[in-house]
Amino acid sequence: MNFYQTESLKNLNHVKELAPEQMQAFSEFNKTVFQEGALSKKEKEMIAVAIAHVTECPYCIDSHTKKAKAVGATLEELVEAVFVVSGLEAGGAVTHSTHMENALDSEAADSLYNRSNLKKLGQLQKGAPEGFKAYSNFSATAMKEGKLSAKFKEIIAVAVAHATQCPYCIDVHSKNAVKLGATKEELSEAVLVTSALLAGGAYAHIANLIQSYGE
């Protein structure tokens, strides 16, 4: 059996009867988040495509790619947005290497998430210099101005960082975004797109739950 057939989404037609109040609240939440605001509908749909690649929800990738295309996003823009995700996923692993250093240091502080931990990134570079150099080049290339502006890429990065729940990434990219002119309103709307996509991934997979329950 193929778990991911688009026809499985027909099962979502039953959700309204199974959980009507929750379905109504989810629909209102999702609709409101994607309204034009500080970010355009196009920008929000591009962020949604990016976050769908974090959640790895094929239903969400399919749906939001088509919605993004419908409001004017190009394939080049969407691919660049997903490379921001790739760069952030790589960066999350790199920045969390500081915890490995703390684990090996008997004198390390008890607090796991000190901002100052980032000063220890040099240890990863010492341990694997060539790999770290290649990572640094990839990260910089993923975030540089292209079909998407550097500012918008940083806004996407802030959204992605909330999806990956990396506090280092949230800190670094929030500051980068503001330096490039992003407003608090734009960043707030981007984070709510992340929230909607995380909720939407769970919602979409109710289709699989219903399918499995009926077998």
- Identify the structural domains of the chain with CATH numbers, from first to last: 39-103+114-213 (1.20.1290.10)
pTM comes to 0.93
Give one DSSP letter per residue of 144-213, joined into a string. SSSSS-HHHHHHHHHHHHHHHT-HHHHHHHHHHHHHTT--HHHHHHHHHHHHHHHHHHHHHTHHHHHHHH
- pLDDT, tens only, 110-131: 887 888 888 888 999 999 999 9
CA 106 from centroid of its chain's CA atoms: 34
Tell me the C-alpha distance between 81 and 92, whole Å.
17
CA dihedral over 69, 73, 76, 80, signed as positive or negative: negative
pLDDT of residue 113: 84
Segment 5-30 mean pLDDT: 92
Asked if pLDDT for residue 1 goes beyond 70, the answer is: no
Tell me the C-alpha distance between 64 and 50, whole Å.
9
Segment 120-143 mean pLDDT: 95
Place of tokens 């990016």: 50
Tell me the C-alpha distance between 43 and 22, whole Å.
27
- pLDDT, tens only, 41-59: 999 999 999 999 999 999 9
What average pLDDT does the structure give for the chain? Answer: 94
Size (the chain), residues: 215
Place of tokens 């790999």: 131
Tokens of 21: 């109040």
